[in-house]
Amino acid sequence: MDYPVKLERDDNDTVLVSFPDFPEAHTYGDDVEDALKRAPDALATAIDGYIKDRRDIPLPSAIVAKHRVTVPALVEAKIRLYETMREAKVGKSELAKRLDWHPPQVDRLLAMTHGSKLDQLESAFRAMGKRLVIGVEDVDSISRERKLLARGRRRRSVRRPRHSAPPHARRFAERAARGDVKKALEVEVLGRARKRHPPAPGDELPAKRTRRPR
pLDDT of residue 134: 84
Q: Is residue 202's pLDDT more than 70?
A: no
Q: What is the pLDDT of residues 142-160, one digit of tens each?
A: 555 555 555 555 555 545 4
Q: What is the pLDDT of residues 68-127, one digit of tens each?
A: 999 889 999 999 999 999 999 999 999 999 999 999 999 999 999 898 999 999 999 999
Per-residue pLDDT averaged across 4-24, rounded? 91
Least confident span in 82-86, 134-138, 153-157, 172-176? 153-157
| % of residues, the chain, pLDDT over 70 | 65
- Max mean pLDDT range (48-57, 131-140, 177-186): 48-57
Q: Going along the chain, which residue ranges are E strands?
A: 2-9, 15-19, 22-29, 67-70
pLDDT of residue 143: 54
Distance CA 173, CA 187 (A): 10
Least confident span in 7-16, 17-26, 126-135, 181-190? 181-190
pLDDT of residue 107: 94
Kindly tell me the number of DSSP H helices and DSSP E strands found in the chain.
8, 4
pLDDT of residue 10: 84
CA atoms within 13 A on the CB side of 160: 4
Q: Assess contact for 84 and 128: CB atoms under 8 A.
A: yes
| The amino acid at 157 | S
Q: What are the C-alpha distances in Å from 123 to residues 22, 86, 96, 134?
A: 30, 17, 11, 15
Q: Assess contact for 107 and 124: CB atoms under 8 A.
A: no
CA atoms within 13 A on the CB side of 138: 5
pLDDT of residue 198: 56
Q: Assess contact for 35 and 7: CB atoms under 8 A.
A: yes
Q: Assess contact for 85 and 91: CB atoms under 8 A.
A: yes
pLDDT of residue 13: 85
Q: Is residue 170's pLDDT more than 70?
A: no
| The amino acid at 118 | L
Residues 6+ apart with CB under 8 A from 185: 172
Per-residue pLDDT averaged across 174-194, rounded? 55
Torsion of CA 56, 61, 66, 72, to 10 degrees: 40
